[in-house]
Amino acid sequence: MRPIPRATGAVVFMGAILCAQSASATVVVGLSLRQLVERSDLVVRVRVREIDVVQTREGPFRVTSLRILERLSGDRRTGPQIELWQRGDGQSFVLGDPRLRAGQQGLAFLVLEGDRAYFTALAQSWWRLEGSGDPVGVRDLSELMVVSPAVTVEMPPDRAAWSVLRARVRRAASEEQR
């Protein structure tokens, strides 16, 4: 994985916030499953446990406790639980950042920074899992304006059975290791 320099990430993030304040969508470049895997430190099936708001020097963050149910790719040293950090205070959000609810299950693509986890690419990084048995993964990109990259990219489905999503992520992860 090639990390994004911290300064670049901050500029992109601030640009997203500024755009979000005057627009109804955050503009992002569409990523394939392989690109999501390559840019993520951890790809996991999780259950959302609890959500708190924490005030920091950088402003308010929603800190969500995620229980790891299955690891599909990435860092095996993380424990059974991880904290996901998202900008916002529970009332205001970054447009395009997934809205998680306690009890939900989902597929998450995460970047790790110390003891914090962040979504790799806003809502492109989260499929909510609905149903039982072989649940259906649903990705909500309604707050994103997804633009095509300069090269053709096979965009992952926004709705697919968990078994299909799991197989595709594992295939992308094995291709990355080659």
pLDDT tens for each residue of 146-166? 887 766 667 788 899 999 999
The distance in angstroms from the start CA to the end CA of the chain is 13
Residue 162 token pair = 């968990």
**Distance between CA atoms of residues 139 and 119, nearest Å:** 13
Confidence of residue 18 (pLDDT cuts 50, 70, 90): very low
DSSP classification of residue 102: T
Report pLDDT for 156: 84
Q: Please name the fold of domain 6-177.
A: OB fold (Dihydrolipoamide Acetyltransferase, E2P) (2.40.50)
In this structure, what is the dihedral angle of CA atoms 13, 39, 119, 26, given to the nearest 10 degrees?
A: 40
pLDDT digits (tens, 9 = 90+) for 61-103: 999 999 999 999 997 777 899 999 999 877 777 888 999 999 9
- DSSP code string of 17-62: HHHHHHSSSEEEE---HHHHHHH-SEEEEEEEEEEEEEEETTEEEE
Confidence of residue 175 (pLDDT cuts 50, 70, 90): confident
Report pLDDT for 25: 79
Pairing, β 144-147 against β 159-161: unpaired
**Distance between CA atoms of residues 121 and 110, nearest Å:** 8
Rounded to the nearest integer, the mean pLDDT of the chain is 85
- 25 exposure class (CB count in 10 Å sphere: 0-12, 13-18, 19+): middle
Report pLDDT for 3: 53
pLDDT digits (tens, 9 = 90+) for 99-144: 999 999 999 999 999 889 999 999 999 999 999 999 999 999 999 8
Phi-psi region of 3 (alpha: psi -120 to 50; beta: other; left: phi over 0): beta
User: Model pTM?
Assistant: 0.79
3-state secondary structure of 163: helix
Q: Does position 4 have pLDDT exceeding 80, yes or no? A: no
pLDDT digits (tens, 9 = 90+) for 26-72: 888 889 999 999 999 999 999 999 999 999 998 999 999 999 999 99
Domain boundaries, the chain: 6-177
